[in-house]
Amino acid sequence: MTATTLPDERGHFGPYGGCFVSETLMEPLEELRQAYQRYLNDPDFLAEFEADLATYVGRPSPLYLAERWSRRQGGARIWLKREDLNHTGAHKINNTIGQALLAKRMGKRRIIAETGAGQHGVATATVAARLGLECVVYMGADDVKRQAPNVYRMKLLGATVVPVESGSRTLKDALNEAMRDWVTHVDDTFYIIGTVAGPHPYPAMVRDFQSVIGREAREQILAAEGRLPDALVACVGGGSNAMGLFYPFLDDSAVALYGVEAAGDGLETGRHAAPLCAGRPGVLHGNRTYLMEDDAGQIIETHSISAGLDYPGVGPEHAWLKDSGRAQYVAVTDDEALAAFHDVTRTEGIIPALESSHALAYANKLAPQLGEDKIIVVNLSGRGDKDIGTVAERDGIRLF
Amino acid sequence: MSQRIDTTFSGLRTERRSALITFITAGDPEPAVTVPLMHALAEAGADIIELGVPFSDPMADGPVIQRASERALRHGTRLADVLAMVRTFREQDSRTPVVLMGYLNPIEVIGYEHFAREAAEAGVDGVLTVDLPPEEGGELVEALRQHGVAPIHLLAPTTTEARMARILERAGGFVYYVSIKGVTGGAEADLSEAADKIAAIRRHTGLPVGIGFGIRDAESARRFAAISDAVIVGSALVTQVEALADEPQKIPAAVAARVAEMAQALRQAGGGA
């Protein structure tokens, strides 16, 4: 069995994944699985999805050689997959378009979503506005305060944003609350999960919608360099942008895969969001995967400068890729990510998202090790406009 | 296996009434309250005690039980502590069945086999793992059965009849029918819809069928008892615990008074469809 044939029928990637939800959601998940299987092979559905990606999202996104930045650090040539140029400024919309089209075909009139930094919430509110669907976005109460511009964006788009006061008042609690909404309104509601986590079929479905990133990158690098890259680098929170990039390369064993987690203040401090590097397997949010938990199995709080990486779990396929050795998972600290943020902004004129800056920071370490004849593709998963307040604050500047 | 649960239900059949199952969260609002509260529940007429194991991310629970989990976790209540509470309870009560209800991850950490053995030794009679559907639950169910602990399974309004049959092949103790699409402490179910579903469940199993989610007082307990073998009351009791969180010594008596009303209503109603 090759890696690309996973998951199995019930959503397992080796020991990971699966479907760990209350009984009420089992049948709705089965309906979703069937609908997704049907439309995945439906030419009309795929044509509509691709047309939307082209005319609404602006795909294909360019693959850009970061020449000056590559030269400055020496070593491998670094290409950036420009997901930051998508409509709404990140890769998130690839998935929300796909799921919203599915929702419409399944006859659902109401869309719900969870969001951390607000990027997935904005991408969901955007497609809901376009398709005329009611949209409710759950967001941790602390995140609502930290991400005011994105909250307002969602409201402008017609979505209702519900601050979640339970638990740690962040992304994981927003996900809990979205699940509670779904179980209560399961007849007319479609839950658009924003990452490659959650119960089956979400991890596989979100990966499939996001794998347009890797398919394009593969063609683009072959056209530009005449060969496959030596390494792919992507940041991993839940892991959807990384899965989207990696998946079409899984069978290319010569292409090394690096997932970059958030080391926050440093793995040794315990204040981080790196379950693959420093957590252990458990069950949360419908799937078995690596988690940040205490020794009693309670989920612990995570820390990262990047709200989009601030999640205690990770997609189950990443857990599988880690154990199987196909991908390697590393972590970079807040400070390293910030340094890469500034470097790329100043040398390339591209302001990257803080999430993506983690991938850039690792590419920065990897390039000199690989040497000049090598090629790295980094997923620049989002633009950093949303983060300038956070960066300014670090520099002691108050913008608003 | 799960002798206490079987004995309880067969006694109730003789009495021709439905069971009252009361849910509290272990360690809420502080660990010292739990064992005295369990005794108070049993004395007030609870036939079975469901003990919630606190979890940081209780996805299937409404706000009342979420907050109960948070209060218990602030005191560091672990699954091992919950088992210790059951052990202490058993020193004085060897009759009332105790069912643990919670989420999978704290059990994963301990290990299924180890957990099943410890639970049985502590005097736990059944385990209901909310986020463990039968598709994923084979291993834990097997471990529980080997140690004589009943694997309690949930059925929901969305459960199809084909699926119901598969689940009931594995179920033990009693069946927990979740009466509404929603979380704990939600709206009250439609009585006739629930009655239809319970009739369907009975076509597939001889196990007693309990009904829960949305039962809040003596009146609704009486109505739902008429169509089931057990009514499960949780959020309504936990709300009282919450109201007295600052005066925990008052909790056992106050909650017991509420339970006594419900138990009285069930005795008057008879039932057990």
Residue of A nearest to B180 (CA): A184
What gap in Å lies between CA A33 and CA A18, rounded to an integer? 12
List CB contacts (< 8 A) between B62 and chain A: 180
Binned at pLDDT 50, 70 and 90, residue B270 comes out as low
Give the model confidence (pLDDT) of B177-233 as tens digits. Answer: 999 899 988 888 889 999 999 999 999 999 999 999 889 899 999 999 999 999 999
At A13, give phi and psi (nearest 5°).
Answer: -110, 90
Binned at pLDDT 50, 70 and 90, residue B1 comes out as low
List CB contacts (< 8 A) between B55 and chain A: 297-298
B50: annotated active-site residue: yes
> How much is the pLDDT for B72?
98
Contact A11, A289 (CB under 8 A): no
- Nearest by CB to residue A186, choosing from B79, B160, B181, is B181
A200 CB-contact burial (10 Å; exposed 0-12 / middle 13-18 / buried 19+): buried
**Structural domain range at position B233:** 3-269
Contact B126, B2 (CB under 8 A): yes
Question: Which pairs from A360-364 meet CB under 8 Å and 24+ separation?
Answer: A361/A260, A361/A332, A361/A336, A361/A337, A362/A233, A362/A258, A362/A260, A362/A330, A362/A332, A363/A78, A363/A233, A364/A73, A364/A340
The shortest C-alpha distance from B154 to chain A (Å) reads 6
> How much is the pLDDT for A1?
39
The shortest C-alpha distance from A306 to chain B (Å) reads 22
> How much is the pLDDT for B185?
86
Neighbours of B194 (CB within 10 A): 22
Q: What is the ipTM of this complex?
A: 0.95
Give the model confidence (pLDDT) of B10-48 as tens digits. Answer: 999 999 999 999 999 999 999 999 999 999 999 999 999
Q: Is A19 helix (H, G, I), strand (E, B) or coil?
A: strand
What gap in Å lies between CA B157 and CA B249, rounded to an integer? 39
CATH at residue B54: 3.20.20.70
Residue of B nearest to A289 (CA): B105
Give the model confidence (pLDDT) of B46-104 as tens digits. Answer: 999 999 999 999 999 999 999 999 999 999 999 999 999 999 999 999 999 999 999 99
The shortest C-alpha distance from B183 to chain A (Å) reads 6
The answer to whether B131 contacts A293, with C-beta atoms less than 8 Å apart, is no
Residue of B nearest to A169 (CA): B57
| Contact residues for B232 (Cβ-Cβ < 8 A; gap 6+) | B21, B22, B23, B50, B176, B210, B211, B212, B213, B215
- Nearest by CB to residue A24, choosing from B109, B136, B156, is B156
Q: What is the pLDDT along chain A (400 residues), one digit of tens a residue?
A: 355 789 999 999 999 999 999 999 999 999 999 999 999 999 999 999 999 999 999 999 999 999 999 999 899 999 999 999 999 999 999 999 999 999 999 999 999 999 988 999 999 999 999 999 999 999 999 889 878 889 999 999 999 999 999 988 889 999 999 999 999 999 999 999 999 999 999 999 999 999 999 999 999 999 999 999 999 999 999 999 999 999 999 999 999 999 999 999 999 999 999 999 999 999 999 999 999 999 999 999 999 999 899 999 999 999 999 999 999 999 999 999 999 999 999 999 999 999 999 999 999 999 999 999 999 999 999 999 999 999 999 989 887 6
B61: annotated active-site residue: yes
The answer to whether B156 contacts A166, with C-beta atoms less than 8 Å apart, is no
The answer to whether B108 contacts A298, with C-beta atoms less than 8 Å apart, is no
Choose, from B50, B118, B125, B242, the residue flagged as catalytic: B50
The answer to whether A22 contacts B130, with C-beta atoms less than 8 Å apart, is yes
State the DSSP string of A163-205. Answer: EE-STTSSHHHHHHHHHHHHHHSTTTEEE---SS-SSTTHHHH
Residue of A nearest to B158 (CA): A24
Residue of A nearest to B67 (CA): A166
Structural domains counted in chain B: 1
Does B151 contact A at CB distance below 8 Å?
no
- Nearest by CB to residue A19, choosing from B66, B133, B159, is B133
- Nearest by CB to residue A23, choosing from B104, B109, B178, is B178
The answer to whether B157 contacts A24, with C-beta atoms less than 8 Å apart, is yes
